[in-house]
Amino acid sequence: MGGKPPKPPGERRRRSSADSAPPAPRSPSRSGRALLRSPLIGFGWAHLSDAAKPYVLSMYHNDFFNSAVAAGIVGIVAWLATMLAPIVGVLAMPRDRFAGTRLYCALLLSLSFFIFGLTDMTFGYDLPTTLHAFLTAIVLGAFREPGPPEINPAG
C-alpha cells in the first residue's frame, strides 16, 4: 500500500500552483462523448445524472445537451420541434392584420426559451414546459380577427 499517509486533521495543507488553476471549462465535447455512447435514444431522463457524472457534476445545465444525452437523436428532434412550434404555427396560419404581432410573440417566446435553456434546464421541469405549451397556445389563438357572425339556420 504505497502512497502518502493522510495528514492529521489539524495540519494545514500547503497550496500549490495547481490549487489556483481555474476549473476545466465545460465543453460540448463532454456531452458529445455521452451522446456517442447511446446516440439514437439516449440514456433516458431517469439516467441523465448517471450518464453525465463522468463528465460533469449531475447534469449539463443546457436544454440541448440534456435532451441529446437523455433522449439521443430523437430528443434533439423533439427539442427542435418544441422550440420551433410557435414559429411554425404562426407561419401556417392565414395572414391577417395580427400576423406581425403573432410572429413577434412567437419569435420572442422561442428565442427566450432558447436563451434561458443555454444556462439552465428549463424543459426538464414541469412548470416551464407547461408554460411554454400554454404561451404557444395563447400566441396562436389570442391574436385573431373576428370572423363573420354565424347565422343559426334552425332559427
pLDDT per residue as tens digits for the range 58-70: 666 777 777 877 7
Query: Does 18 map to a domain?
Result: no
Answer whether residue 46 is part of any domain.
Answer: yes
pTM of the model: 0.65
Inside any domain, residue 15 = no
Task: Tell which wins on pLDDT, 26 or 138.
Answer: 138
Domain count, the chain: 1
Among candidate residues 87, 140, 91, 77, the one with its CA nearest the CA of residue 113: 87
DSSP the chain: --SPPPPPTTSPPPP-TTTTSPPPPP-HHHHHHHHHHSTTT-S-GGGHHHHHTTTSSS--S-HHHHHHHHHHHHHHHHHHHHHHHHHHHHHHSPP-TTHHHHHHHHHHHHHHHHHHHHHS--TTSHHHHHHHHHHHHHHHHHS-PPPPPPP-TT-
For residues 123 and 82, which has the higher predicted lDDT (pLDDT)?
82
**pLDDT digits 0-9 by tens, 66-107:** 787 778 888 889 889 999 999 999 999 999 999 999 999 999
**Per-residue pLDDT reduced to its tens digit, 12-34:** 555 554 555 444 444 555 556 66
pLDDT for the residue numbered 103: 95
Domain, as residue range, for 67: 28-142
Stretch 139-149: mean pLDDT, rounded? 82
Q: Determine, yes or no, domain membership for 149.
A: no
pLDDT at 143 over 60: yes
Say if 148 falls within a structural domain.
no
Whether the per-residue pLDDT at 4 is higher than 90: the answer is no
Joined together, the cell numbers standing for residue 139 give 400566441
Q: Is residue 108, in this structure, part of any structural domain at all?
A: yes
For residue 110, is it within any domain?
A: yes
Residue 19, in any domain of the structure: no
